[in-house]
Amino acid sequence: MTDGTGSAGSRAARFGGAGSPGPPAAASGATRSAGAPGGDPGRIRPAGSPVAGSFGADCAGFLAVDSGGSGLRVVVGTVEAGALGQQESRVPVRTGARGIDAGHLREQLVPLVRALAIETGVARLGTAAVGAAGFGTLGDALRAELPDALRREFGIRRVALAADAVTAYAGALGPRPGAVIAAGTGLIAVGTDLTRWRRADGWGHLLGDSGSGAWIGRAGLEAALRAHDGREGGSAPLRACAERQFGPLPDLPGVLYPRTDRPAVLASFAPQVAACAAEDRVAAGILRAAARHMADAAAAVCPAHGTPDVGLTGGLFKMGEPLLAPVREALAERLPHARWVRAEGDPLHGAVRLAIALATGALTLPRDDGMLCVTLSE
């Protein structure tokens, strides 16, 4: 048996290893080196590096898109050279009565792609992969409108539309069986045996997202208020942190409840919980409970046979060892047949992988209208 680095190890060691669960996202305007021996065609390298070859009208390229709560990230490249250029918008795509607003996404996307066509010299696009937050439940308009819009604007005839959980999976693990925990403000686990998708949680901060940044932050603020009241289960260090961040605690409900971005506000306190965990048993207990929730979600979606990989992706894991250590321990207990691996890339990297696989006829991840929908136009 091997751990995520390929070295022999015990069951616990399969979930061992320090550091970030994955590489940082590429900066805006980055390009990828062409034809690097043995390199991942989706890997993006710093802007300004020379790109070998010429990519003009005779070379059909691909488009990869990551649409999330922080905006839109877009990559253009070719199958031969991989990702060549990146642009981004900081404006999140709107949602409306029909779900994700396909027109608003198109309005942002078109100028970014045209700029990338000039920057990269990729004048003809044949394939696109678009990962969108909320696609599984809010993707009707995207499925109905976006493939035709991409064909009209750019001549794209092969389109993969995916939930951001799927692009997170593809970026973290690629086309192999396993499970991925995607954790930021919210949390979802997705897994596949390459015949079908399974998902767990991702139900939002009121109904689920257990173990997420919002969940950890809310639990930390509850412990702070318990300390303020003199109730059991309170934490004086978390109380002090909450007062520094939000002001007098009796005013906290008035600060928090009217906000339309409550999950993000709650999640903003999660790093304080991690900072207190080394010296405060209540904070440490919150992170252990979050880790158990993550392991439960992963166990619900992970293939039961073989030695599947379990990857971690998302901004929450940037909190480092205070969270990663209990997560590794919980995964080792709940999934002794699996192995923890570092995420190979982020959701944008996953969209690039999907686009290249679709362009080359090598897309093996399962098709599902709510998770991964493929449209081929004549």
The structural domains of the chain, with segments of one domain joined by +, span 31-174+346-376, 180-342
Per CATH, 31-174+346-376 and 180-342 having the same topology is answered yes
Predicted confidence at residue 65, as pLDDT, reads 95
Closest Cα to residue 205, out of 177, 178, 183? Answer: 183
136-168 pLDDT per residue, tens: 778 888 898 999 999 999 999 999 999 989 999
Q: Using CA atoms, how far apart are residues 12 and 3, in angstroms rounded to an integer?
A: 9
Separation of alpha carbons 335 and 314, rounded Å? 20
pLDDT at residue number 341: 86
pLDDT single digits (tens) 196-227: 999 999 888 889 999 999 999 999 999 999 99
pTM for the full predicted model: 0.78
| Domain 31-174+346-376, CATH among 3.40.50.720, 3.30.420.40, 3.40.50.800, 2.60.40.10 | 3.30.420.40
Q: Which residues of the chain carry a pLDDT beneath 70? A: 1-59, 378
- Radius of gyration of the chain measured on its C-alpha atoms: 21
> Rounded to whole angstroms, how far apart are CA atoms 305 and 121?
46
CATH topology of domain 180-342: Nucleotidyltransferase; domain 5 (3.30.420)
CA distance 16 to 145: 45
Instruction: Output the CA torsion 215→225→256→250 (10° steps).
Output: 180
Q: Are 287 and 322 spatial neighbours (Cβ–Cβ below 8 Å)?
A: yes
Provide CB contacts within 8 A for 251, sequence distance 6+. Answer: none
